[in-house]
């Protein structure tokens, strides 16, 4: 299908320029999706496999009648941990993205974040932005400490590829100890238990077989197609 798009430029407080994009159907939209990309995706017109997944997902969401809001993000070295400054810029840009399209927002409002994008969404929700979201879906987002959600949300879905293993170095002076490695069937439920709020909400954990961190096949054997699963989770019919 043809996806209609409108792009506008904005500036960070330090003067860095970035783009915001609204993708929408020909007919009036019946939902708004705020899409926060992972650290591997920094620009709206990238060519990597994560870019292609987000493009295909956007097309599906628009085909289902939603408008999708997204923006450029700061580049991130995959071999280095994310910094607080990087996370702050991501959250600030998402906040500006919502503010810039406030006059065009169509309810329900759905939030979808991948990896670092999911962490940025949690940062917003922790400070009460947006005031209310109808559904939150976080992909590959590990929650390592309690997060108090100040926004009103009805549900949070945590989605992980079944082969997305997380390793931690042993907290010991013995440098010969191997790292502890956990699978999402374990750390997913730990993450769910760390999400709390001033009003109760449902937290669900979903595992997609044969997929890695950003939901691409990464091992032998069959693998799930992430697009139908994500589209279903973002459906307003739930």
pLDDT over threshold 70, residue 186: yes
107-138 pLDDT, tens digit each: 999 999 999 999 999 999 999 999 999 999 99
Q: Mean pLDDT over all residues of the chain?
A: 91
- The mean pLDDT of 88-112, rounded to a whole number, is 96
pLDDT over threshold 80, residue 83: no
Of 70-79, 97-106, 127-136, 213-222, where does mean pLDDT reach its minimum?
70-79
pLDDT of residue 171: 61
Task: Confirm if 30 and 65 have CB atoms less than 8 A apart.
Answer: yes
Q: What is the DSSP letter of 9?
A: E
- The mean pLDDT of 199-218, rounded to a whole number, is 95
User: How much of the chain, in percent, has pLDDT values that exceed 70?
Assistant: 91
Which pTM value belongs to this model?
0.92
pLDDT over threshold 80, residue 178: no
- The CA-CA-CA angle for residues 233, 236, 238, to 5°, reads 65
CA distance 89 to 94: 9
9-21 pLDDT, tens digit each: 999 999 999 999 9
pLDDT of residue 221: 83
CA atoms within 13 Å, Cβ hemisphere of 95? 17
- The region, left, alpha or beta by phi > 0 then psi within -120 to 50, assigned to residue 204 is beta
Q: Which CATH architecture has domain 4-231?
A: 3-Layer(aba) Sandwich (3.40)
- The mean pLDDT of 135-158, rounded to a whole number, is 96
- The mean pLDDT of 48-72, rounded to a whole number, is 96
Residue 152, token pair as written in the block: 């009103």
CA distance 178 to 38: 28
Q: Which residue, among 163, 118, 124, has the nearest Cα to 142 in the 3D structure?
A: 118
With tokens 């904005």, the residue in question is 10
Q: How many CB atoms lie within 10 A of CB 122?
A: 22
Ranges of each domain in the chain: 4-231
pLDDT of residue 2: 77
36 phi and psi, to 5 degrees? -110, 115
The most distant pair of C-alpha atoms in the chain lies apart, rounded to whole Å, by 62
pLDDT of residue 173: 57
pLDDT of residue 128: 96
Counted residue by residue, the chain has a size of: 238
66-79 pLDDT, tens digit each: 999 999 998 877 66
CA distance 146 to 153: 16
Residue 49, token pair as written in the block: 């496999």
């Amino acid at each position: 299908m043809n996806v209609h798009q409108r792009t506008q430029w904005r500036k960070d407080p330090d003067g860095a320029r970035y783009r915001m994009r609204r993708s929408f159907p020909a007919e009036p939209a019946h939902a708004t999706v705020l899409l926060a990309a992972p650290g591997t995706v920094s620009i709206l017109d990238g060519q990597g496999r994560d870019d292609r997944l987000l493009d295909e997902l956007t097309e599906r969401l628009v085909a289902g009648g939603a408008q999708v809001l997204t923006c450029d993000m700061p580049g991130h070295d995959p071999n280095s941990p994310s910094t607080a400054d990087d996370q702050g810029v991501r959250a600030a840009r998402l906040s500006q993205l919502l503010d810039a399209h406030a006059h065009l927002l169509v309810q329900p409002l759905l939030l979808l974040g991948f990896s670092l994008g999911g962490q940025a969404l949690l940062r917003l929700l922790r400070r009460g932005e947006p005031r209310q979201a109808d559904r939150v879906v976080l992909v590959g987002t590990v929650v390592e400490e309690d997060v108090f959600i100040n926004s009103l949300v009805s549900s949070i879905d945590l989605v992980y590829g079944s082969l997305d293993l997380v390793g931690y170095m042993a907290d010991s002076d013995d440098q010969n100890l191997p790292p502890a490695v956990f699978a999402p069937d374990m750390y997913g439920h730990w993450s769910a238990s760390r999400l709390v709020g001033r009003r109760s909400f449902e937290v669900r954990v979903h595992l997609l077989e044969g997929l890695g961190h950003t939901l691409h096949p990464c091992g032998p054997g069959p693998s799930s197609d992430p697009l139908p699963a994500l589209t279903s989770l973002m459906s307003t019919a739930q």
